[in-house]
């Protein structure tokens, strides 16, 4: 037991995942004849931890392109939709301090899976799916074994040597002039 040490480090200590399918009813200004297209854009969200859950508040825009006045005109109807998701966390380690970081990754941004005109003929019924993963990063303890002897792994080093001799071009010959 003398050779064990605890290291305090940051790690993912809890995770949760939630896939949501919801239905949204939208009432455009004109009575729709047909739906020509539907798309979901501008998704934003915020998260906070509450107990063993992460609560996510988000919003997105739903755009419905549709015809009206007996298919003689087209318009795009846009509405901002708010939502709240609650993701249950599954813990690997209990936190050792209260300083935790919440990270939310969007696996599937809100996406229209179906768009129809309601039975009354005045509304759009839009099915939207989304999938989110929440992670809690906090301090945790890791136990390591410490080697009892001091040693260093052998290094494969090769001896190097160098010597610098002056180059022959740079040497100036000094002598006596014997010519007369």
Q: Return phi, psi of residue 8, to 5°.
A: -95, 125
Predicted confidence at residue 180, as pLDDT, reads 44
Q: pLDDT tens across 131-178, in order? A: 999 999 988 888 888 876 666 677 777 777 777 665 555 555 455 444
For the chain, domain boundaries: 4-145
Predicted confidence at residue 179, as pLDDT, reads 46
Please compute Rg for the chain using Cα positions.
35
Q: pLDDT tens across 94-135, in order? A: 766 678 899 999 999 999 999 999 999 999 999 999 999 999
Q: CA-based angle 107:109:110, to the nearest 5? A: 135
Question: Closest Cα partner for 46 from 38, 33, 55?
Answer: 55
3-state DSSP of the chain:
CCCEEEEEEEEEEEEEEEEEEEEEEECCCCCEEEEEEEEEEEEEEEEEEECCEEEEEEEEEEEEEEEECCCCEEEEEEEEEEEEEEEECEECCCCCCCCCEEEEEEEEEEEEEEEEECCCCCCEEEEEEEEEEEEEEEEEEEEEECCCCCCCCCCCCCCCCCCCCCCHHHCCCCCCCCCC
- Indicate the pLDDT class of residue 77, thresholds 50, 70 and 90: very high
Predicted confidence at residue 93, as pLDDT, reads 72
Q: What is the pTM of this model?
A: 0.72
Out of 65-74, 83-92, 157-166, which region has the weakest mean confidence (pLDDT)?
157-166
Q: pLDDT tens across 30-64, in order? A: 999 999 999 999 999 999 999 899 999 999 999 99
Predicted confidence at residue 165, as pLDDT, reads 60
Question: Are 115 and 76 contacting, i.e. CB atoms less than 8 angstroms apart?
Answer: no
Out of 8-17, 31-40, 80-89, which region has the weakest mean confidence (pLDDT)?
8-17
């Amino acid at each position: 037991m003398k050779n064990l040490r605890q290291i305090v480090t940051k790690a993912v200590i809890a995770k949760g995942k939630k896939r949501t399918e919801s239905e949204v009813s939208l009432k455009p200004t004109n009575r729709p004849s047909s739906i020509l297209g539907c798309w979901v854009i501008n998704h934003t969200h915020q998260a906070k931890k509450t107990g063993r859950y992460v609560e996510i508040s988000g919003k997105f825009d739903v755009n419905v392109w549709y015809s009206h006045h007996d298919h003689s005109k087209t318009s795009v109807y846009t509405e901002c939709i708010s939502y709240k998701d609650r993701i249950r966390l599954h813990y690997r380690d209990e936190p050792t301090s209260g300083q935790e970081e919440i990270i939310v990754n969007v696996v599937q941004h809100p996406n229209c899976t179906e768009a129809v005109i309601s039975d009354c003929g005045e509304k759009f019924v839009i099915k939207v799916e989304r999938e989110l993963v929440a992670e809690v990063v906090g301090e945790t303890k890791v136990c390591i074994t410490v080697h009892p002897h001091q040693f260093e792994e052998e290094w494969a080093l090769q001896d190097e040597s160098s010597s610098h001799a002056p180059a022959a071009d740079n040497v100036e010959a000094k002598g006596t002039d014997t010519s007369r």
